[in-house]
Structures are given as C-alpha cells and as structure tokens.
Amino acid sequence: MTTIVDVAIHANVSVATVSRFFSAPDKLSKKTALRVGEAVNNLKYTPNALARNLNRSRANAVMILLNDITNPFLARVVASADKVAIDRGYSVLLGNSHFSQDIEANYISRIQSRVVDGFIQVSSNVHDIMLDPNNTIPFVNLCECPSNAHYPTVHIDNVAASREITELLINLGHQKIGCLMGIFNDKYPSPVTVDRLKGFQQALQRKGIKYHPEWHLNGDYSFESGFDAAEQVCAMQNRPTAFVVGSDEMASGFIRGLKSKGIRVPEDVSVTGFDDIPMARFSEPALTTVAQPAKKMGEVAMGLLLDLIEGKPLHKTQIKITHDIVVRESAMPPKA
C-alpha cells in the first residue's frame, strides 16, 4: 500500500509538505504543489492513511450520495436525514451522481480525503472502500442494499412489499398482470429492482399464474419513463388487466400515458405504485401503493451513521424498516 512517505520520496519533499498539500494547499508554492500532485496521481495515493496517522479532528460534516436529487421519495429521505444531522451538530453535503458510477467514484475519492466524517450511499454501486477491512471512514447504505451486504444498511423488505402489492391485485381477481420496474440491466444491477421483480414473480408463482416476459416493462423511476411505457401497453394485442409499477412517480406517468390513449384507470387497467409520495394521494385516481416510510428511513440511516462516527455502541448495523400497503382508487376487480 502506498504511504505518505512514498509520496514524499517520489516528490522529493518532506512528509509535512505532503500533509500540507491535503490540508492547506494554498500555503505551498505552485511548483511544489504541482510536484506533490503529480506524485499523488502517479502512485495512486489516497489519504486514508494520512487521516489515520495525523488523527485529525472531525469535520462535523457528512455526505449523502444519491443517483437523482429530483426523485420525490429521495428528497423526503434527505430532508429527514439532514434534520437529524443538524440537530446533532453536523453539516450535510449532497453528491448527485446522475446514475453515473464514475461521478460517484469521484465523490468517493473526495470522501477519502476526509472532507467529511462519513457518508450515506443511496445507490447500488460497490466501491473498494466499502469492502476494505482497513477502511476507517463510516458509511451506511440506504435503500439500494444488496442482499449479501456485510456493511451497515437501512432498507425495507422489497421482496415482501412487491409480493404483497401483487397479491392485492390477485385477490381482486386479476390473472393477467404485468409489471413496470426500474432500471434493470447488467450495467446497473439495482437491488431494489431485482428484489421488487422477485417479489412480483413470487406472488404469481404462489397462485399458479404465468409470468409473461413480454408484459415486463422497464423505466427509470421517472414520470416521463412511465408515460413512455404506456405506449408499449397500447401496442399489446393481449393486454394485462393490471400492472405493478416500481415507483409512484413512474406510476403517475404511466396512468397519464394510458389515459392519453383512451385507456381508463382502473376500469380498463388497474395500476399500483411504490413509495407513497404525496403525489400518490392527489393523483387521479388516487394511487394504491406500497408505503415506504421515507422520514423514518432518513432518520434511522443518519442516526446510525452519526453513531458510527462517534463510536457509540451499536446493537445492530443492518436495519430493516417496516412498510405498509395503502389501498386507494387505482385498483379494482377486472371487467368480466
């Protein structure tokens, strides 16, 4: 492992100069800063060891990494997490990756420079820091938690939640059920999408109902992707009578798209959502959905992170939050 001493030797400067490069670069001459910077890049050095060896005081700041800052559910999570941090004397920085692994990796490299004391990650990307047994930077993975994760996590049981909302449709009498899930490909193997599809398929299998791959649509959790997915439904000759949708925002777009094509909800097609954002209550029709307690999830995740930072004793670090099924107007028995 590259150390601060290696960087100092490579740049032909003192260890103190390398330390100053990270803590107070403006105090170095441009020539010296350039030489140290080149050594850091050439040796691929990150200042984890520097932070440990210097026993630096806390920054009293944390970062929240997320894929889409405009997502209404995530906005509520961030708001509640931010309140907990402020109440405990910490500032919160946001890192919006726009679903880019490279952008998120860049944020991770900055985190390793100890600009913050820890971070909450709301994505499925797994970085080296998360698997490094010598890592000293506390972090919590929120929502997008792999089933085999051994690091701190906070999430609901997405498999069970998706299974229950699908069973609700089955109990209403639906046998032809499709799904509109989130991003689902090799480049972005989202645990949320994987688990919600698994729960959907479990419910069908338990009731002896056939899963139709051609009725499996994908979006990106946005209103626009839901609206666009409705176009595919209109082209189906053998159309499902109900759809399980992976987010409320996407479900709202889906309903709007169906209506624009003359397909009534729920009279012609029943639709369910996921998250229970405010839009779900005020959509037309009001959305039957899975309620994820965004406020509680943000509070629990931030509380766990700050306890890790402060070295408080913990009973457990993998926390599962209870969800609910909220029945409204967007689902009804199929037409005879």
The pLDDT score that the predictor gives to residue 51 is 47
Look at residue 184 and tell me whether its pLDDT is greater than 50. yes
Lowest mean pLDDT among 11-25, 109-123, 258-272: 11-25
Residue 245 has pLDDT above 60, yes or no: yes
How would you write 154-219 as a 3-class SS string?
EEECHHHHHHHHHHHHHHCCCCCEEEEECCCCCCCCCHHHHHHHHHHHHHHHHCCCCCCHHHEEEC
For residue 81, count other CB atoms closer than 10 A to its CB: 28
* Domains within the chain, CATH numbers bracketed: 4-54 (1.10.260.40), 61-156+294-321 (3.40.50.2300), 158-293 (3.40.50.2300)
- Tens-digit pLDDT profile for residues 279-333: 999 999 999 999 999 999 999 999 999 999 999 988 889 999 999 999 999 999 9
Spatial distance between the Cα atoms of 242 and 192, rounded to a whole number of angstroms: 21
Is pLDDT at 253 greater than 80 in this prediction?
Answer: yes
pLDDT tens digits for 161-178? Answer: 999 999 999 999 999 999
Distance CA 244, CA 216 (A): 10
pLDDT of 48: 55
Q: DSSP character for 236? A: -
Q: In whole angstroms, give the CA distance from residue 173 to residue 132.
A: 50
For the ranges 11-25, 57-71, 283-297, 306-320, the lowest mean pLDDT is seen at: 11-25
State the average pLDDT over residues 54-66: 79
At 53 the pLDDT is 41
pLDDT band for position 4 (50/70/90)?
confident
Distance between CA atoms of 219 and 227, rounded to whole angstroms? Answer: 9
Whether 56 shows a pLDDT value over 80: the answer reads no
pLDDT tier for residue 187 given thresholds of 50, 70 and 90 = low
